[in-house]
Amino acid sequence: MVLGFSIALIVFSLLLMLLVLMHKGKGGGLSDMFGGGMQSSVGGSSVAERNLDRITIVIGLLWFACIIVLGIVMKSNS
């Protein structure tokens, strides 16, 4: 059981990193150093960006839940 949750945690961690890197820079951060601040924002966020936000939040919650369950399982095994 610990092995399964450890593998799930690794998968969710990699997915979360990928999703965070796919987000568009909002300005004022490191993305401005690499040319992200030179683009003009046209207006509100598009449907694709909102869906990316939602997917990132869901994966983040699953990642957090996996950490909690893994901690409980490891504590009960010892």
**What does the pLDDT read at residue 74?**
93
Successive 10-residue mean pLDDT values, the chain, 78 residues = 94 95 70 55 72 94 96 92
Residue 34 pLDDT: 61
What is the Cα–Cα distance from 13 to 19, expressed in whole angstroms? 10
What pLDDT does 68 receive?
Answer: 97
Rg (CA), the chain: 17
HSE, CB side, 13 Å, CA atoms: give it for residue 6: 5
The CA distance from 17 to 54, in Å, is: 15
* CA–CA separation, 52 and 50 (whole Å): 5
pLDDT in tens, 29-50: 555 556 655 555 555 568 888 8
Residue 44 has a pLDDT of: 57
Rounded distance between C-alpha atoms, residue 64 and residue 32, angstroms: 30
